[in-house]
Amino acid sequence: MVLKVTWPGKAGKQYTFDTYPIGTEFNPVSGVYIACKCTGGVNWNAFYVGETQSFHDRLNTGLEHHDGLKCARRNGATHLGVMIVHGDANRLRVETELRHVLNPVCNRQPANALASILSGR
């Protein structure tokens, strides 16, 4: 059974994801995904937001090597929400917007990692 989960974006924009239990087999299409868990009723908690050129490659065959999804599962994620988004720039825009609005715990970087990136180390 597919669950429709809507996540808030910027300026009132809404994004609706088809949401499935982790372990569901996905097709090789591009888009944005959210590792999440229902916290009661229609309330969901997002643990990780990502984008990919192939849901199949990233969420099925590559799942065991995905540190963000490992973190999400450790934090209680039970489902993956997927939304087809065509075009690299569109995909990155939506993924970035949702990461900033939702601030999922498994996308956060420690302050020292950010400082290293900014200083070029």
Tokens of 28: 């090789």
Domain boundaries, the chain: 3-119
The Cα 6–Cα 12 span in angstroms is 12
The predicted-structure confidence for 36-89, as pLDDT tens digits, reads as follows: 999 998 899 999 999 999 999 999 987 778 999 999 999 999 999 999 999 999
Give the per-residue pLDDT at 36: 98
pTM higher than 0.95 for the full model? no
Extended beta strands in 41-93, E state: 43-52, 79-84
Does domain 3-119 match CATH 3.40.50.920? Answer: no
Q: How many helices (H) and strands (E) does the chain have?
A: 4, 5
Contacts of 11 (CB under 8 A, 6+ apart): none
